[in-house]
Amino acid sequence: TELAAPAVAPDGVLTLPAVAGTLATTADVAAVVTGKILQVVQASTSATVTTTSTSYVTTGLTATITPSAATSKILILNTIAARNASAGVSYFTLFRGTVSGTNLGPAEGMVTIYPSIQAGQNLTYLDSPNTTAAQIYTVGMKAGAGVTMSVNIYNSLSSIILMEVAA
């Protein structure tokens, strides 16, 4: 059945055609819409952090988001400027909470053949925290054996973006 256009009287009264069926409300549509970005949070830092630790330490890059629904997912996008002072490997990963929290891994490795060249590292992860409590996300880093690594060594800006996605 084809739905006819509603009639609008001169006084602004809308008259719907007499057709059997169900009229979708805003709530009905919202209940089936998924993938919509509900909120965005961004944090950035240009502070230099240097480590030789082979255990994860914070890069100083953290952001907090409070999901509006327990079914929401959090899309994490991160870019960080990093440098190894010597040839070797260093690693980056995302944590829910601090670097003592849940490692959302896997780690992204950065292999350096030519030391002292700064390179951009990107991490992306879709998290399902299953809560409406505030969630902190932290970018962690660790050095390979014998490596000194740094972030933001040349006044670079590293950032993390958190997006709440409707499930």
Q: What is the pTM of this model?
A: 0.78
* Rg from Cα positions in the chain: 24
Rounded mean pLDDT of 75-96?
Answer: 91
Nearest to residue 89, comparing CAs of 154, 145, 139, 50?
145
Q: Averaged over 74-91, what is the pLDDT?
A: 91
Position 96 scores a pLDDT of: 97
Mean pLDDT of the region 36-53: 96
Read off the pLDDT of each residue in 40-67 and give the average, rounded to a whole number.
96
- Mean pLDDT, residues 146-154 taken together: 90
Instruction: Tell me how crowded residue 145 is: count the other CB atoms within 10 A of its CB.
Output: 8
